[in-house]
Amino acid sequence: MESPLIDLERDGDVFVLRMRAGENRFNRSFIAAMNTALDEVEASEGSPGLVTTGEGKFYSNGLDLTWMTSDEGKANPEFIGSVLRLFARLLVFPLPTAAAMNGHAFAGGLMMALAHDHRVMRTDRGYCCLPEIDLGLPLHPGMTALIQSRLPKQGAHEAIVSGARYGAEQACAAGIVQDVGAEDEVVEKAIARVAPYTGKSRETMYALKAGLYPHVLEALGAGDLIPGL
C-alpha cells in the first residue's frame, strides 16, 4: 500500500508502516489511512510483525486541533471516538507491534506509540511529551487508562501532571520506551524487537492482549473488542 499519507511495505516477516503526513496529526483522512493500512496487515498471510514510524523529525504530534476546530471537524463529532478506537485496535492488535519513534511524539502521538507492544526512540533528535497540562486540555478517561497501563504508576503521574519533555535516554529511564538508537537505527531496532514474536497464533495473541487490558478497552469505548462480550 502507498498513499500520500501512509506507505506500507513488507520487510520479510515484518511490515513497516511509514506515516508521511508531516507532523502526522490525527484528522479524519489520517485515521482512515491508518485503518486501511492496518486492514492490509491483518489480511496478510502468516503471522508477521508490524513497525510504525514517521519521517524526518516527527513521529506524530497527535490531534489535528486546527482541523478539529474547522467546519469539517465540527461536523464530525464522532471523530475522537475514532481516535480512541485506533488506540484500542493497536493495543490488542493480533500481531507483535513496535513504534520506531523517529522524532517528536507528543500528546496523542505518544499515546499511539504507547499502544504498541514495544517502543524505540531516536537519540539525536525528538522528544516525547504529554502536554495537556500546559494546553489546558483534560484527558479522556480512555487515554488516561492507556497511559497508566503502559507506564509505572509514578511515572504516569509525572508524565501527565508535569507535561515534561523526555529525550530518548530520559524516556528509557522512565519506562516510556524500551530501547534507543540513532536515526538510521530506530526502524532496524524496532524490527528486531518484533521479529522473535512473529509466527505465533494471531487468535491467541489477540485474546491474551485483550485479557491483559479489558479495563483499558472499556475506557476507550471499545469493550466490544473483549473476546466473549
Q: Cell 507528543 identifies what position?
A: 106
Closest C-alpha to 68, from 53, 55, 81: 81
The answer to whether residue 69 is domain-embedded is yes
Beginning with the edge strand found earlier in the chain, give each strand of the sheet holding 97-101 in spatial order.
6-11, 14-19, 49-53, 97-101, 118-122, 179-181
pLDDT of residue 181: 97
pTM across the whole model = 0.96
CATH number of the structural domain spanning residue 43: 3.90.226.10
User: Residue 82 is part of which domain span?
Assistant: 6-225
pLDDT in tens, the chain (229 residues): 667 999 999 989 999 999 999 999 999 999 999 999 999 999 999 999 999 999 999 999 999 999 999 999 898 889 999 999 999 999 999 999 999 999 999 999 999 999 999 999 999 999 999 999 999 999 999 999 999 999 999 999 999 999 999 999 999 999 999 999 999 999 999 999 999 999 999 999 999 999 999 999 999 999 999 987 5
Q: Cell 489535528 identifies what position?
A: 64
pLDDT of residue 11: 86
Contact between 116 and 70 under an 8 Å Cβ cutoff? The reply is no
pLDDT of residue 3: 79
Domain count of the chain?
1
The answer to whether residue 104 is domain-embedded is yes
The answer to whether residue 1 is domain-embedded is no
The answer to whether residue 33 is domain-embedded is yes
The answer to whether residue 189 is domain-embedded is yes
DSSP 138: P
The answer to whether residue 109 is domain-embedded is yes
Residues 6+ positions from 60 with CB-CB distance below 8 Å:
19, 23, 24, 25, 26, 54, 104, 105, 106, 108, 109, 112, 113
The answer to whether residue 75 is domain-embedded is yes
pLDDT of residue 2: 62
